[in-house]
Structure 1
Amino acid sequence: MPKPNTSTLPLRLDHSRSLWRSRLGSALRTSLACVLVGVATLYSPTTVRRHLHFPAFSYMTAVLVVGDASSLGGSARSAACASYGILLGLLPAMLTFYSIRPEGVSAATTAVAVAVSSFVVAASDPPGLITTRIALGQVVIVYVTAYKETGRVKPVVLHPVPVAASTAVGAAAAVLALVFPYPKLACYQVKEKTNLYIEMTKERVRVLVNAFCADSSISRSASEYQAKSLAAACKKFLQNIKLLQGSVHWERPPLKFLPRPCNVPWERLEAIGMPLKGMEIALASITSSSSAPTKAVDQQLKEDLVSLSSLISTKLKDISNFPPERKGKAEAYKAFLHSSPTIPQDLQCLPSLFFLFCTRLLLDNVVDGGGAMNPLPNPGHDYNKITPDRTEPYAAKAPKTMLRAVNMSTERVVAASKCSLTLGLAVFFGVLFSKDDGYWSGLTAAIAFAPRRGGATFGPASARAHGTALGSVYGVLGSFVSQSLMEVRLLALLPWVVFTSFLRRSRMYGPAGALGATISAAIILGRRNYGPPMVFAIERLTETYIGLCCSLSVELLLQPARASTLARKELSRSLHVIREWLQSTTSPPAESRDREKQLREAADRLHKLIEEAAAEPNFWFLPFPAASYGKLHGSLAKMVDLVFFLAQSMEFLPMEVQEAIKVDLEHFKEMVDASVKCFEEVVQVESLEEMEKELQNTSSTSYDIELGRSPPRDGKEECEKIVASLLQHSREVMERLDENVGADVKDQLVLCLASIGFCIEGIMREIKETEKGILELIQSENPWCNINLYDIICRVKYRQCCQRRHLDAPRR
């Protein structure tokens, strides 16, 4: 039995402590911001307190700003967004009050005014979600307050002042909470997380090399599991670093003589992580094939790999030096690949060579600062030259740009229309239920608004409703315990704010439920003179449910798309992006990188929609097949990584070598394109029953569906033939190389060609897994049918043929 590896224990402890300190610190600062709002609302001078009529909005602003910002720079940015939201929400209201006097307005007039102003706010596409929500909240409160004070003569300028003052108090409390007792600076957080990321990366390199050099499958599997755990932690650190680096420049005064913070760009850290992901893919392939890497690697090379991992760890310590020092790169290459590899005859040797390719790529990224291996010499050819037939003329790009702009404006108008109708209905029904507290329904709808939301409507609404109920119950209980002592109430609020701050990261409630729970308890415990707590809590809950019902109703009426439906469409779109990428494998590097970026973004969107659909209630619909979608996303994500390494390998090859393997690549592209096109068409079928009825209605035609049916080809056998042919052509081109070509260049050629073969084999394997996943998905949607995927493909093609015949009939 292998001994447990205790070398990663300090890293796990540092990671756990850092995570615990970060979350606890955020919770305590959120509670401090709420206490500051309570103190300002209850104990500030009378001249200030008489303008703070809306402490609930102060609490909401403080929680929004602190929750969205994890550093002083982030809070400053959020406070700036809140200030912009005040202007965006109040200026239209003041103009409206100048044209229409607020005295004598009705509920319908108030709802129409809120709808028009909210449309203006949402259509302006303000920067940041905090700006939008604060501006919409300002609109709701100003107009509902004017309706509540009907009959009172009041200067126009005094209507927005209490709302703006309450919002400013919340934003100021949030900034102060991130300053005291010491400032929580983003630059220090980035530095701390970067150091932890580098330490974990060094450990990942050591673990992966040990797994590759392991003599037994048990030791290799144990090391792989450790590497996956470290990779998950590194991914979280990288996401946090990416978010924090956007707040660093908000902490630095605009003075040129001050030194810039020495932080490593997250792009460089991400570039270092990609080769490690490739090494993990290679090890997984070695483990699944039950073959030891010793077939392609000798003992001397294993020793060189161990030495190289130590060298990479040493270079990672100095990664903060940017631009990096290139000293020691030549010596590292001399120590690497002590025995030169050759193009293998056996396909089982490809994972080992791909591991070596990723190791060398990692070395270049560490030494060159996120660069890649140097392109190979290409005498007689200019590889970087872009031929005219590969470039798209400006005249062809212009219509696409215009269409993209039209789609963007259409999407913005739809989102603004939904926001306008939602807030208008919420305010109308809210003031009908309670004239004094009618703005709660509008505020609930304003906080729930998310522009260009992907479709997860029921999940956040349900979490927000549950969180509001929990916070109201806690607030009522706290009010009964401390009926008249406001100091005790504020103390009772602290543990609840800490608890809800941790609740933000739970799957059940998330940010929406935690925000509702925090605000509901804060507005009951942090204010006075609102009547009996029980009555206020019941009215607050009722108004909240009015706002949520209006949001859901408008969402279902204007855009009745569930997250599961959007996940299905995004899956089809992702398959289409894969087909587009196939056309750019031999394109210029910049275009290939753009396609790879689009594919990665599509995979990320699919992952988010799968998570949203899994948390969405089913109601009368079939349960969402989360397991099937998870497998499909896993195959798609792995294809994205293989696409990256295939593009990297192609970029390093000279044109002469690319021409030698061009036929094999074209065969591979045709095979993948045919399969993915069929999958895309099958996924687009919404209902098999409707398609069957449509085919029965066109049965009078003489076209026989059986004519389009062909026995499926063995994808594994075809893939092996393609890879074997590619390796054979690679050996031939290697034999034709001039003797003057250095050994390092030949080694790089071998690794690149072997990497291309491995990526082709891996992509075809994931295509086969995608086929299984789609079959499982359709079978789960039609549990009482015996699904034959190839039969569905033939029927889809037959329906397309009938549709084309129907369109061509009038022309004839």
Structure 2
Amino acid sequence: MYTLQAPWQVCLASSFRTVLACSIVGCTTLYGPESVRRILTFPAFSYVTTILIVQDATLGDALRGCWHVLCASIQVILPSMLILRLIGPSGFTHGLAALVVALTSFLIALPGSTHLTAKRIAFGQTVIVYVGAVIQGAETGVITHPIHVASSTALGALASILAMLFPYPHLAYREVGKACRRYAENASHRFNLLVEAFCAKENMAAFNLITDARLFSKAGAKLLGSIKDKHEGMLWEKPWLSSDPGEKLQEMNMPIQGMELALTACSSFPIKMMDEELLGVVQIAKKQIALKLEQAMFSVPFDAATAPEMKGEHTYKSSWTRKAISTNHEDLSPFFFLYCMELHQDGPACIVNNDAEAKIQESNQSKKQGKSRMKQMLSFSCEKLLFAIKCSLTLGLAVLFGLIYNKENGYWSGLTIAISFVTGRQATFTVANARAQGTAMGSVYGILCCFMFKNLTDFRFILLLPWIIFTSFLRHSRMYGESGGIAAVIGALLILGRKNYGTPSEFAIARIAEAAIGLICFIAVEILLYPARSVTLAKTQLSRTLRELQDCFRIIGLYTNQKENSRELLRVKQKNLKCHARELQNFITEAELEPNFWFLPFHSGCYNKLLRSIYEVADLLHFSIHQIGFLSQTCQILGITWEEIQKQICNDLEHLMDKTDYLSKCLDEVFLVKSLAEIEKQLQKDNVSHDLELGKSPNGDLSTHLGSEENNILEIGKSFLQQTIRVSNTTKGNEVEEMLKSQMVLCLTGLGFCLNNLKRGATDIEKEITELLKWENPTIPVQLQSI
């Protein structure tokens, strides 16, 4: 019943392909014909290319890797021939080689259209070409030397493709199909568990079922991530498949996620409104939605799963929507659960389908996207420029100091870091530590194997196979990660997979020293270009996310007032909010790995709570948009006054905007002055007498403030429940109008739940920010509103 593939199976499958690819490279460079071995003079880089391409790859990924190798070789090999001809191989000194490597790396890193893998391969080729010219001197072939580097790189790419073909083609298309079916099965299990929890007779049973559903939710998120990772490789196998299955599966997930939110908000079980009639209606809906999920499970994963036609069983809608007439605030959560079930069955509710308007909006959006892409192509952003400077400085310094320390092994200081660059920030010390440990582990393993097989040099390569399997598990571990795992496997490959490089122990020590030089240069440049700590960036990003959240509330207000272009703006703001939240998550992850030094420990628990609250608010916004659009259109059709509902929504949104506004301003003010102590002095100068916790009146306290917030939240629910009574009492019409009225009643209760929980989520964010500021300023009273 568990739908996620076991991690050890994934690691074993990946390691088998890696073993096969490295064996192809090893047999070719060690035992191939003399004419072939004469061209492949850099087998070390063949292994490096193989490792960069083949890890967790499919056939499509390997084909894409070959394209990256071709792009990198064109960028490096042809210009290097011209530079070697102009300067002359004998004219390359340590400083000149470092300068040429730095300038070439800058030009390689600057274009934003080049893939990161192509840039890494190009960086490695650049180091080998120009450092090789220093080492070989006048004997360096102006044409043959770059061609030998390109040939060694091509061997690694070819070995990767062959490894993906045996014993059968490892297709991304097939892997995505399996993952889509597992995801549909996972969604079916989650849905069944949540419906069982909704019908549960006691709190403990419901809690256990909800916990099980959350476990399936985590497994589903991993499956969805796997689908997104393999999507680009799938396009290399079948370019005509333009649709992204991950987006469609994400749409399938949203109603189930809403059902989980509704059950989490339920105060007790069994649900008070549950009776035999509603139980029967829920069971009918459960069968229909289960059939839809089953159809999605066995259909082609790249087509949208459509609900099967169920004749004679559509009467469940009017049955449960008639129950959405209540004055009990506790019934909002069950009503939202039922709303999500209907959303899962029929998709987002929308009455008016103006094709002309949709086409105009789509056309305008495509034009804007085209203009923005043109601007991105014509102008280099600060981030791209900073990345190019980082690569240039790091590789130039690494090559310079590496050649000064040991001319014969000067390759490894630059190569160690050339294959590990990432755009933007990363956990510098953690990555450097993992690479250093991995390099040492792999080198020591190679030395021990050479000592044990001292007289059987031809069989040393066999000992690489278990090491590749081990490092595959190491690469998926939290301790070493991808950087440490790659460094460990390459460290052993360079000793056991080659010949004629001298004494293994001397080479290993020299390479470890060169790797340390490269990593020191890497850390120094990272600190120079990115001096801000991840904790500081997380705070700044939190403020930006809150401002983006405030913009979403403002645009929803425009959408509620039926302003032009508000729907398109809302769609853009939603995407921006998710992007800001993901960036905040990256900073939090980086800050958790960052050493504290003399600073306070990072309060990861508080930041993770804030992140969960923001993601929950973003999900609730998604539902609120559909509900407001449906209600505004239905009111026009049924002749119901929209202004009263509109006024209530706008009042609630205005309160949310005010709260997020003063929270973001508070964080910005703290960042400007760097300390709450100066703010406290300023408050004392102005004779401001505020509450020590929240900046309220002198008579107020925290419990009073939270109590008033809770009362406001309850008022939201009551107002929308009263609206449902008003709508239900309208004049009866035909069957279609009655169905629309029933759906409108259910939608109103769902909107009440969403606005209710949006306000509660904003209050939670306020409390968590207060806790965060208290953590960093334990001796100073935190006064949010005064700040």
TM-score by length of 1: 0.87
Paired position in structure 2 for 1:618: 596
Q: State the alpha-carbon separation in 1 of the partners of residues 237 and 372 from structure 2.
A: 39
Counterpart residue type for residue 562 of structure 1: R
Match among 219, 228, 233 for residue 214 of structure 2: 228
What is the Cα deviation at residue 639 of structure 1? 0.8
Contact 1:454/1:566 (CA < 8 Å) preserved in 2?
no
Paired position in structure 1 for 2:350: 374
Match among 651, 670, 673 for residue 654 of structure 2: 670
SS at match of 1:360: helix
Match among 189, 209, 218 for residue 204 of structure 2: 218
Match among 14, 28, 33 for residue 16 of structure 2: 28
Contact 1:30/1:63 (CA < 8 Å) preserved in 2?
yes
Match among 334, 343, 361 for residue 325 of structure 2: 343
Match among 58, 77, 94 for residue 64 of structure 2: 77
Q: State the alpha-carbon separation in 2 of the partners of residues 725 and 188 from structure 1.
A: 51
Paired position in structure 2 for 1:481: 452
Change (3 A) 1:698 1:413: same
Q: State the alpha-carbon separation in 2 of the partners of residues 394 and 361 from structure 1.
A: 28
Paired position in structure 2 for 1:501: 472
Paired position in structure 2 for 1:650: 628
Q: Which range moves more in the overlay, 501-510 or 212-221? A: 501-510
Matched, 1:422 2:394: yes
Q: State the alpha-carbon separation in 2 of the partners of residues 737 and 422 from structure 1.
A: 75
SS at match of 2:40: coil
SS at match of 2:393: helix
The percent identity for this pair of structures is 36
Q: Which range moves more in the overlay, 635-644 or 49-58? A: 49-58
Counterpart residue type for residue 432 of structure 1: I
Paired position in structure 1 for 2:314: 333
Pairing of 1:156-195 with structure 2 (within 5 A): 156-195=142-181
| Count of equivalent residues | 754
Change (3 A) 1:679 1:400: farther
Pairing of 1:360-759 with structure 2 (within 5 A): 360-365=342-347, 372-375=348-351, 409-451=381-423, 453-585=424-556, 586-587=558-559, 588-655=566-633, 656=635, 658-684=642-668, 685-686=670-671, 690=675, 692-693=677-678, 704-706=687-689, 710-711=696-697, 714-736=708-730, 739-740=733-734, 742-759=737-754
Paired position in structure 1 for 2:246: 266
Change (3 A) 1:502 1:396: closer
Paired position in structure 2 for 1:803: none
Q: State the alpha-carbon separation in 2 of the partners of residues 405 and 191 from structure 1.
A: 34
Contact 1:459/1:612 (CA < 8 Å) preserved in 2?
no
Q: State the alpha-carbon separation in 1 of the partners of residues 243 and 272 from structure 2.
A: 41
What is the Cα deviation at residue 442 of structure 1? 0.8
What is the Cα deviation at residue 617 of structure 1? 1.9
Pairing of 1:38-187 with structure 2 (within 5 A): 38-67=26-55, 69-152=56-139, 154-187=140-173
What is the Cα deviation at residue 398 of structure 1? 12
What is the Cα deviation at residue 721 of structure 1? 2.2
Q: Which range moves more in the overlay, 685-694 or 200-209? A: 685-694
String of CA shifts for 1:110-144, please: whole Å, max 9, x gaps. 11101100000000234322101001111111110
Change (3 A) 1:735 1:61: same
Change (3 A) 1:87 1:44: same
Counterpart residue type for residue 417 of structure 1: I
String of CA shifts for 1:334-363, please: whole Å, max 9, x gaps. 234534223321111000000001001111
Change (3 A) 1:786 1:737: farther
Paired position in structure 2 for 1:802: none
Q: Which range moves more in the overlay, 402-411 or 632-641? A: 402-411
Change (3 A) 1:404 1:262: closer
Counterpart residue type for residue 772 of structure 1: K
String of CA shifts for 1:656-686, please: whole Å, max 9, x gaps. 4643212222221221112112221232323
String of CA shifts for 1:574-602, please: whole Å, max 9, x gaps. 11110110111142433322222221222
Match among 761, 768, 777 for residue 766 of structure 1: 761
Matched, 1:301 2:278: yes
Question: Structure 1 unaligned runs (5+)?
Answer: 1-10, 255-259, 366-371, 797-812
Paired position in structure 1 for 2:226: 240
TM-score by length of 2: 0.90
Match among 277, 290, 300 for residue 313 of structure 1: 290
Counterpart residue type for residue 275 of structure 2: D
What is the Cα deviation at residue 732 of structure 1? 2.7
Change (3 A) 1:396 1:240: closer
SS at match of 2:91: coil
SS at match of 2:666: helix
Counterpart residue type for residue 434 of structure 1: N
Q: State the alpha-carbon separation in 2 of the partners of residues 473 and 26 from structure 1.
A: 24
Q: Which range moves more in the overlay, 98-107 or 572-581? A: 98-107
What is the Cα deviation at residue 326 of structure 1? 5.6
Q: State the alpha-carbon separation in 2 of the partners of residues 338 and 594 from structure 1.
A: 37
Paired position in structure 2 for 1:788: 782
Contact 2:188/2:294 (CA < 8 Å) preserved in 1?
no
Counterpart residue type for residue 591 of structure 2: A
Paired position in structure 1 for 2:563: none
Change (3 A) 1:537 1:332: farther
Q: State the alpha-carbon separation in 2 of the partners of residues 121 and 605 from structure 1.
A: 26
Counterpart residue type for residue 148 of structure 1: I
String of CA shifts for 1:73-94, please: whole Å, max 9, x gaps. 1111112112211212223322
What is the Cα deviation at residue 246 of structure 1? 2.2
Q: State the alpha-carbon separation in 1 of the partners of residues 144 and 377 from structure 2.
A: 40
Change (3 A) 1:634 1:782: same
What is the Cα deviation at residue 459 of structure 1? 1.8
What is the Cα deviation at residue 20 of structure 1? 3.7
Question: Structure 2 unaligned runs (5+)?
Answer: 560-565, 636-640
Change (3 A) 1:680 1:445: same
What is the Cα deviation at residue 517 of structure 1? 0.6
Contact 1:194/1:264 (CA < 8 Å) preserved in 2?
no
Contact 2:75/2:122 (CA < 8 Å) preserved in 1?
yes
SS at match of 2:167: coil
Counterpart residue type for residue 59 of structure 1: Y
Q: State the alpha-carbon separation in 2 of the partners of residues 76 and 129 from structure 1.
A: 15
Q: State the alpha-carbon separation in 2 of the partners of residues 395 and 214 from structure 1.
A: 51
SS at match of 1:448: coil
Q: State the alpha-carbon separation in 1 of the partners of residues 662 and 732 from structure 2.
A: 45
Matched, 1:279 2:259: yes
Q: State the alpha-carbon separation in 2 of the partners of residues 298 and 167 from structure 1.
A: 70
Contact 2:201/2:269 (CA < 8 Å) preserved in 1?
no
Contact 2:186/2:220 (CA < 8 Å) preserved in 1?
yes
Paired position in structure 1 for 2:335: 353
Contact 1:376/1:654 (CA < 8 Å) preserved in 2?
no
Counterpart residue type for residue 686 of structure 1: F
Paired position in structure 1 for 2:562: none
What is the Cα deviation at residue 691 of structure 1? 5.4
Contact 1:33/1:173 (CA < 8 Å) preserved in 2?
yes
